[in-house]
Structure 1
């Protein structure tokens, strides 16, 4: 796995979304730089299959819950003890699963995520698996075209991505969210409901609040408000 780091100070582990990478979600539009300016160290892994990380095509490289295992591996190998955890979309889902499995960040921020994005994972992944299976047939105007185009632009290997989608992320039960006791921010684009209701997600968490920023699921990453709200929550007493 490739791990990108920027800044000096309190560690913030940032987990990117599906078919994206650390550069697109955190570096390119200045979010990591803003965190560094506010006294944090942004630690940004590329998931396997993504960015500068390896994309093995052997199915055995994708055991159940592999992204959670990768998150634990980064925390362990970097010796992170007192840190914050931030995710976007699939990164948010993985962050939540990792906390349920035992990670203990001081604060948690989940962006681009609602309750249904946790509970209807098979339906969500079925869309992307279908896109991969019909990759060469998809034309402009097809509902799958945007996902195909983004995946192609990012240089994602379709076969490796399919293995990851089928096996890489386990289901989350709503009852498990009660174990996430640290202060949590559910940060969402005002026009983003791709992964369901952020309000319902916050209600299911013991200590959570919702804040909105401009944009859709895709475009909110381009907005400076994403990094600003992340830093704002992490700096709050």
Structure 2
């Protein structure tokens, strides 16, 4: 919200993926300037766990993998893949680690997310299982399932096309 404040925005669309989707949901629940929302890489865990699916991804091991400068041997495959993807994107790993620690501090107030919302979920994404549970918990949401796993769905052509379709609509 501080970025929107600094830019003087009266209204804005918000897009977030994975941990960014949790941040986007929390922002949309608090900031009435969010007019449309696209979230991806999430499913029932937002409703059942409050955010990223810790049943699949051990948050503490993810934090360790994000903060280590050493070898990733011995870390779970999901944490290694997340770290490698963060490095590929040039992400701020300490910030991601802080978000991973904080994301499960409490329930996500889904009833306060009243803007039109699109949930994009990969058909093989183990972090976005049963996405209809999340869609059903949001007052104005729809679901689009895209071929791919957690990292593969993002590069599918229909992923970007779906975002543009909602935001242009």
Corresponding residue of 2:160: 227
* Offset from partner CA, 1:195-228 (integer Å, 9 cap, x none): 4431111110111111112221101221221111
User: Residues 122, 166 of structure 1: CA spacing in aligned structure 2 closer, same or farther, 3 A cutoff?
Assistant: farther
Q: Is the 8 A contact 2:114 2:139 kept in 1?
A: yes
* Offset from partner CA, 1:154-188 (integer Å, 9 cap, x none): 45565565445335x463525x2111111111111
Query: How far apart, in 2, do the equivalents of 1:219 and 1:154 lie?
Result: 14
- Moved runs in structure 1, 4+ residues, more than 6 A? none
Corresponding residue of 2:50: 119
Instruction: Choose between structure 1 and 2 for higher RCO, CA contacts under 8 A separated by at least 6 residues.
Output: 2
Query: How far apart, in 2, do the equivalents of 1:160 and 1:234 lie?
Result: 27
* Alignment coverage as a number of residue pairs: 163
Structure whose alpha-carbon radius of gyration is higher: 1
Corresponding residue of 1:69: none
Note if 1:89 corresponds to 2:18.
Answer: yes
Normalising by structure 2, we get a TM-score of 0.77
Residue 165 of structure 1: which of 76, 100, 114 is its match? 100
**122-131 or 180-189, which moves further after superposition?**
122-131
Flag structure 2 segments of 5+ consecutive residues without an equivalent.
none
Normalising by structure 1, we get a TM-score of 0.58
Could you say what secondary structure the match of 1:92 adopts? Answer: helix
User: Residues 94, 140 of structure 1: CA spacing in aligned structure 2 closer, same or farther, 3 A cutoff?
Assistant: same
Pairing 1:121-140 to 2, within 5 Å after superposition: 121=52, 123=54, 124=57, 125-132=59-66, 136-139=70-73
Query: How far apart, in 2, do the equivalents of 1:105 and 1:120 lie?
Result: 20
Distance apart, 1:190 and its partner CA:
1.8
Query: How far apart, in 2, do the equivalents of 1:98 and 1:233 lie?
Result: 18
Flag structure 1 segments of 5+ consecutive residues without an equivalent.
1-71
Q: Is the 8 A contact 2:22 2:51 kept in 1?
A: no
Query: How far apart, in 1, do the equivalents of 2:53 and 2:124 lie?
Result: 23
Q: Is the 8 A contact 2:66 2:93 kept in 1?
A: yes
